Structure 1
Amino acid sequence: MDFNQCIRFLESEGVRCTTQRKAILQYILKNRNHPTAMEIYKDLVNRRLSNSLANVYANLDLLEKVELIRAIRYQKVPAKYEMATEAPHCHIVCDKCGGIKDLHYLSHSETLRKAVLNDTGFRLVDLSYELRGICQGCHEAHTL
């Protein structure tokens, strides 16, 4: 989903497209590195689009509630955000720096959905693994 599609979606949901909401969406669309609320806030402050971290959190909560973005929450790592319109996938988290990488090969395959439904009667709506490790950068810094 591109920026204009996101705006049309918000309007169809009856959500006002404020300057700050647009800026947050643009930031998440542009920065596919799973930014935190603080990273988004710092960018908005630098561009003079916000002076309140609380407002950034409120907007992130609203965008998550209408299922336009997804919060990624793992132990010991501040919530990070990505577009909910991406194909469902899992993540691996670095135990040292908290960095997150996408794992698209661990996803909600149709085979898995059918197996879960047949075995349990549950309709799979989300899949979450907490895969943890040490990223290459932290590993290299530790071995120097």
Structure 2
Amino acid sequence: MRNIDIFLREKGIKPSYQRKRIYEFLHQNPIHPTVNDIYWALIHDIPTLSKATVYNTMNLFNEHGLIDIIPIEGNESRFDLHPIKPHAHFKCDACHQVFDVEIEIPPHLISKELAGCQVETQNINFTGVCSACMEAKNSKVI
């Protein structure tokens, strides 16, 4: 990735050390992290980091269009760098990982109720058990 300082400034965000490190983490770890995931991944390198700082930074990144908030869990948001291509998400109930799912909805399948509306965000989420967890579960059956 090119210079994060310049990138954040171009997006209208003051590039503090913590913001740069959080963005760098998101860029290098496309794991759809939670605030807790980000906090625990960075706290050892940034002892002054707080969960409030991570939360506020994620809100700032969202306001400036750098990330999407994935509403796939009821109690905690996950985050995705602003996608290049529209996609859905699948959350495995066994291992709790969130995977990208390529999906494209043809315009003719979009509900008539949305005619004349400007859709800003589209979230399609699936939950279940991923193939790796299913395979592990099936291999334990005798």
Cα pair 2:31 2:98 within 8 Å, conserved: yes
Deviation at 1:85, TM superposition (A): 4.3
The count of corresponding residues between Structure 1 and Structure 2 is 138
1:46-90 CA distances to partner (integer Å, 9 max, x unpaired)?
A: 212543111111111111111111111113463211111432211
Q: 1:130 aligns with which of 120, 125, 133?
A: 125
Aligned AA for 2:104?
Answer: S
Deviation at 1:117, TM superposition (A): 9.2
**Counterparts of 1:16 and 1:90 in 2: how far apart (Å)?**
31
State the match for 1:96 in structure 2: 94
State the match for 1:107 in structure 2: 104
State the match for 2:44 in structure 1: 46
State the match for 1:30 in structure 2: 28
- SS of 1:46's equivalent in the other structure is coil
1:55 maps to 2:53: yes
Q: TM-score, normalised by structure 2?
A: 0.80
Give the unaligned 5+ runs of structure 2. none
State the match for 1:11 in structure 2: 9
RMSD, aligned CA:
2.6
1:120 maps to 2:115: yes
Report which of the two has the higher share of helix: 1
Deviation at 1:116, TM superposition (A): 4.4
**Counterparts of 1:44 and 1:99 in 2: how far apart (Å)?**
20
Identity in percent: 26
Deviation at 1:135, TM superposition (A): 1.1
Taking structure 1 as reference, are residues 117 and 132 closer, same or farther at Cα in structure 2, changes over 3 Å only?
Answer: closer
Cα pair 1:95 1:134 within 8 Å, conserved: yes
**Counterparts of 1:14 and 1:134 in 2: how far apart (Å)?**
40
